[in-house]
Amino acid sequence: MNLNPEFQRLLWLHVTPGRLLAMPSLIGLIVALTWFSADPNERGMMLYSLGIAGFILLPLFWGARQSGESLRQELEENTWEAQRMSVLGPWQLTWGKLLGSTLLSWYGGLQLLGVLGAGWVLGARAELTAYPLFKVVLLLLLAALFMQGLSLLMRIYMARGFGARRRGSDAIYLLVFIYFIGIIVSALGDRISYIEWYDYRLVQLDFIIASLLFWGPWVLFGCYRQMRRELMFRNGPFAWPLFLIALATYVAGFLHEQALANHLILSLALLLALGYLLALTDARSPLTLRHLHIAWHRGHSLAFSDQLPLWVMPLLLALLAALAFIPVGQQFAAGVWGLSLLLFALRDIGLMHYYSFSPSMRRPELAIGFSLIAAYLLFPLLLGQLVGKGHPLLTLFWPHPDQPAIWLLLAPGLQLLLVVILLRARLHAMHLFTDYSTR
Amino acid sequence: MIQVRNLSFEYPGHRVLHQLDFTLEAGSVTALVGPNGAGKTTLLRCLAALERPLEGSIHIAGIDTRDAPREVHRQLGFLTDFFGLYEGLNVAQCLRYAARSRGIPGHLAMAKAEQAAERLGLADRLQAYPGQLSRGLRQRLAIAQAIVHEPPLLLLDEPASGLDPEARDDLAGLFRSLNQQGMTLLVSSHILSELDAYSTHLLALRDGRIRAHRPLTAAAHELHRVRVGLCEAPALRPTGEAIGALAELKWESDTELVIGYHGDAEARHQLLTALLAQGLKVSSFAPLQTALSQLYFDRDQAAAQEVSA
């Protein structure tokens, strides 16, 4: 049989006869324990809750973890290069990893859906009238698929930089997971809750299902594109900005106000935060900068856009959003504040690169962390004690919207200039701009 | 089989490969040699479409590595300096996966895996896990993975490092056998004597530039040296003319001399016969350098002289 080789490899690794027996045995034991320990009138509800909790634990948490691990282990065991040498295409590798690494969790998950269904029939149906069972099941299935895809996407993106350090990437993954589970659990309450999005008032569960149906394919597409990048294929330049615009539009809808300027503020904040996070977790390879430099000088626009780090585009769109305040929102101050935030973000990203390219620094992320804590917490607190709250000098560390525009732009602008000078000197010392073709 | 044109690759701080131009013929075994940092591994990674060159082009069996990296992978096997073995799969599974992931259809994968295992002497260890194998056997498994799809081209980065002399000898035999079956090999190694055992061509790099690229068969006509040890000092030292047409003759002590000559193994045999015929009590007769290492170092000295001049 011509199974996807990657899927088959992961089956060999994860789906063993022992595990196939252990999974139903374990679930059966827990069900029996629940059944006998529960009040006879609450057995149905208990089984229903057990089914949901178990599903969240297995395909959602463990499955998502496994899908990310499928790539991290490759890097750790030096087998990733061999995979890059295979003839498997990016899509084959993506779905092979995604399904192969999570199959055992789905095996347990389907049994837990059976438990959930049994609980529903045995009594939960009478108590929970807010949503039909199929919607709950659909939500769980889509949420698990989404989280598994997102986990793989995060691992592929972070594979070469931040994510190579297991603890750091585990912490980010855990934060995302906890946030996501919070959304899912809040939607599964026993009362119908609503959500306002732009001018619509929607049932929260339906909205989350629709959102997962919309964003799930984007996540898979993201995995596919990142996999293409790993396999030396060039990606087109349009999908990433299109995704960012879709995401900003989606998130802006949660601000249920009519004013377009307020939507722009939320979009700007989201784009800045995303760009910042991507820059923080980026591999920050000098080789990439070198290739960018060469592509720029030779006018190779496709090669340039292909090599461009992902954090650049959200910041570029954030700049556009900030500039759009002035004509669209008639809010000069808000636009300036947005620009000020962007300058601070660029300053930090410059510092991240400066530390990362230090020839003597063994753990640049520690220096980055310390600098950020000092810049955003310790110095402002100290200065606040010395000069008092609301002093213009505090704009050196954080843009207060009520400060004069000149301060808001000059304070981070000068810092950014200083960082650029330092970084440029470091890059020169690394011969990043040297032209070897004439030597 | 391999066509490289104007290939350059850079890391910040230095250019690793400088506009390399070369062609490797199908059926050759090319020794890729050079000091540490010469660019050997980077060149192999570019050839394997694992790195994107800064400029230039690489064609493997007529396929451009930039346009169709996955198609290029069908045409080659690559043994990297770390083996890339799945510790959780047994030898049979490792080889089946390697075969399938390199385009062998499912119904043929097991047969190909068994053939590769047979070739590499792993047939009796199909159920063993990589962690249970010695370093030499792990190396063999890695090579078996690289050739399981019977690619026309095999790239090997330091294949003999860490192996004992017996295992190296086996490896040389394997490479000769693969070459006889039509495979083209490009082997990077620091151990020149080992490369000499099976290479047909030399590709020498230094500082990212090609120092030499030539067939090794021509080396037979170049200068070779042997160190000759004697049991006792001769009463009269024979001259070069008396021994034969020698390129050089140098007495290093009363009982030791170094002789330079042109020719192959037959010429060396005649040299030994001539020494014995002169009444010299020969106790040892050791070729000083292999053809490849001699060629490599001679060219290096010539380059140094050019630079100093």
Q: How far apart are CA A412 and CA A394, in angstroms?
A: 11
pLDDT of residue A438: 56
Q: Which amino acid is at B106?
A: G
Mode of pairing for the β-strands spanning B55-60 and B2-11: antiparallel
B209 touches chain A (CB under 8 A): no
State which of A34-38, A251-255, B297-301 shows the largest mean pLDDT.
A34-38
Q: Which of A72-86, A309-323, B39-53 has the lowest mean pLDDT?
A: A72-86
Domain boundaries, chain A: 1-233, 247-439
Give phi and psi for B156, each to the nearest 5: -130, 125
Give the 3-state secondary structure of residue A249. Answer: helix
State which of A328-342, B12-26, B288-302 shows the largest mean pLDDT.
B12-26
CB A231 to CB B69 under 8 A? Answer: yes
Confidence band for A304, pLDDT divided at 50, 70 and 90:
confident
Residue A2's closest chain B neighbor by CA?
Answer: B106
Res A143 pLDDT > 90: yes
CA distance A221 to chain B (A): 20
CB A5 to CB B101 under 8 A? Answer: yes
Please give the distance of CA A175 from its chain centroid, rounded to a whole number.
10
Q: Which of B70, B148, B157 to probe by mutation at the A interface, max A CB count within 10 Å?
A: B70
- Which domains does chain B show, CATH number per domain? 2-215 (3.40.50.300), 219-296 (3.30.70)
Q: Which amino acid is at B271?
A: L
Q: Which of B41, B54, B75, B154 to probe by mutation at the A interface, max A CB count within 10 Å?
A: B54
Q: Are B168 and B160 in contact (CB under 8 A)?
A: yes
| Torsion angle of the four alpha carbons A345, A346, A348, A349, in this order, in degrees rounded to the nearest 10 | 120
pLDDT of residue B160: 81
Confidence band for A137, pLDDT divided at 50, 70 and 90:
very high
DSSP string, B14-76: EEEEEEEEEEE-TT-EEEEE--TTSSHHHHHHHHTTSS--SEEEEEETTEETTT-HHHHHHHE
Contact residues, chain B, for A233 at CB < 8 Å: 69
B242 touches chain A (CB under 8 A): no
Res A325 pLDDT > 90: no
**pTM, rounded to two decimals:** 0.83
Q: Which of A64-78, A223-237, A320-334, B7-21 has the lowest mean pLDDT?
A: A320-334
- The angle at the Cα of B172, spanning B166 to B173, to the nearest 5 degrees, equals 90
CB neighbourhood size of B19 (10 A): 17
pLDDT of residue B294: 63
pLDDT of residue B220: 54
Which secondary-structure segment (H or E) carries B2? Answer: strand B2-11
Give the strands of the sheet with B223-230, arranged side by side: B248-253, B256-262, B223-230, B282-287
CA distance B159 to chain A (A): 16
Nearest to A436 among B10, B74, B86 (CB): B10
Confidence band for A328, pLDDT divided at 50, 70 and 90:
low
Res B161 pLDDT > 50: yes
Token pair, residue A81, equals 């290069």
Region B186-198: what's the mean pLDDT? 80
Give the 3-state secondary structure of residue B211. Answer: strand
Confidence band for B308, pLDDT divided at 50, 70 and 90:
very low
Region B167-189: what's the mean pLDDT? 87
Q: Which of A85, A86, A433 to probe by mutation at the B interface, max B CB count within 10 Å?
A: A85
pLDDT of residue A415: 94
CB A289 to CB B87 under 8 A? Answer: no
Confidence band for B217, pLDDT divided at 50, 70 and 90:
low
Res A184 pLDDT > 90: no
Q: What's chain A's average pLDDT?
A: 87
Confidence band for B304, pLDDT divided at 50, 70 and 90:
very low
Mode of pairing for the β-strands spanning B55-60 and B63-64: antiparallel
Q: Which of A61-65, A366-370, B190-194 has the lowest mean pLDDT?
A: B190-194
Please give the distance of CA A123 from its chain centroid, rounded to a whole number.
39
Q: How far apart are CA B78 and CA B48, in angstroms?
A: 7
